[in-house]
Amino acid sequence: MREESPPGHNHCQEERGISMAQRTLRVAVVGGGMFFEEVIGSTLMDFERYGIAPYLGDIGQGRLARDLADVRVEFVAIGTRSPERGTAGGICEWYHEGVPDSAVQPFYGDTVWEEIIAQAEPDVLVVATPDDLHHAPIMYALSQGLDVITEKPLCLQLAQADEIIAAADAAQRIVACDMHKRYDPMHVKLFRDLVPRMGEVNYVRAVLEEPLEVSTEIFKWAARSNPFSYVGCHWTDVVHYYLGVEPVSVHATGQKTLLLNWIDPETGEPKPIDTFDSMQVKVTYDTGMEALYINAWINPPDFEAPVNQEIKVFCTRGSAFMDQQDRGLRFCIADEGSRTTNPFFNGLTPAYERFDEMKGYGKDSLTAGLSAIMHRKLLGAKPEELAAEYPTAASHRSTVALLDAAQQVADANLAHTRAGRGSPVTAFLGDGRIEIRDPVG
């Protein structure tokens, strides 16, 4: 089935095309960091071994499994900026251990997605670059006629989100955002079953705090983002998606103490990281509901769980609280300490043959995005017909507006606080744009 090309489309790819008889989807990834290691790589390995059909029931799309049962997924390229940690070459070696006949090849460069699209001719680009580097590869992929799956957040600026949404609409392509907390069975239970029986929602309080190593070791780009953008976007997406609310105003504060004065533990030399240690973002929604999002990425290494996360929904006829990292599995190992763990995110399902399969809600939104792409590309569905089946870029717009506004407001309030003027700055979002309101400045 040959498709019309948007402006700038890669003609080599169009000439190759994807016929109904061929039924193959070629996938490339840019970014080889933590989330590739934890989720994306193993997910693609399962898809290439077994197809997507076995996993559709996990996201409520079992009815579609027969339509896609014979579609082959091929992981054809992985791109990283340089041959360091999480390198493309090392990833290819690891992937070949699980899929010996894989055709995946490594690519390197600052704009590695351009070379990948020209040489590997993928149909789908998975964007797993740092938070602030999603916009460029997404826009380029759309200009070349590809569909896209991007890690959260979609981007960090509202203007960029609007560009992506408009480009996807114009090209009639899918841009799926990996918002896996929508698929956590605890959230499904809370928002689909309990909240509708609890009256009007008065407020939501959500906490997600990451370990110190994330901001000081794992991510070299922490100064270009903040803890609310990195993990708070999970909670805002869940709230917006399930409650159908839109933000109208934002008050944000944050603390810059530990990271701004960071000392390299190996050298003892100052190594400041100019980002917020923690942030508190209070949002008023169009229903009158309030939400408080509390995020940090300086949890000490000795904390019992990989992350600290919880959510409370308080309503007129009831309330519900979930301590998300405590799901009943605790362990204690000599020299490792006591820990709690969450196998529901990316646990393993024992296999009868050589390989285990990854199972969990960390995989589910990737499945949903790829399913939508298959239906558009192979079965002729229009993107607007598929919007309810996966986390769309458009559904993430209000979250990006919050991320953009919160950064601006928290920066301004920190300056006022240091000058002894409190934190008077807010942002108004009621008309779909960001208006910073500073009664002092």
Grouping H, G, I as helix, E, B as strand and the rest as coil, residue 249 is strand
Q: What is the structure's pLDDT at 153?
A: 97
Element (H, E) at 299: strand 290-299
User: Which residue, among 246, 256, 251, 311, has the nearest Cα to 281 in the 3D structure?
Assistant: 251
**CA–CA–CA angle 33, 108, 92 (5° rounding):** 60
CA 284 to centroid of chain Cα atoms: 24
* pLDDT in the model for residue 351: 58
Q: Which CATH class is domain 182-346+399-437?
A: alpha beta
pLDDT on residue 392? 98
- pLDDT (tens, 9 = 90+) of the chain, 441 residues, equals 334 444 444 433 444 444 444 699 999 999 998 889 889 999 999 999 999 999 999 999 999 999 999 999 999 999 998 776 558 999 999 999 999 999 999 999 999 999 999 999 999 999 999 999 999 999 999 999 999 999 999 999 999 999 999 999 999 999 999 999 999 999 999 999 999 999 999 999 999 999 999 999 999 999 999 999 999 999 999 999 999 999 999 999 999 999 999 999 999 999 999 999 999 999 999 999 999 999 999 999 888 888 899 999 999 999 999 987 777 678 888 887 888 888 788 777 665 555 678 888 999 999 999 999 999 999 999 999 999 999 999 999 999 999 999 999 999 999 999 999 999 999 999 888 999 999 998
Q: What is the DSSP letter of 328?
A: S
The pLDDT of residue 213 is 94
Q: What residues contact 360, with CB distance under 8 A and at least 6 apart?
A: 343, 344, 345, 346, 347
Q: Which fold has domain 11-179+347-393?
A: Rossmann fold (3.40.50)
Domain ranges of the chain: 11-179+347-393, 182-346+399-437
The whole-number pLDDT of residue 330 equals 81
Residue carrying structure tokens 């979002």: 429
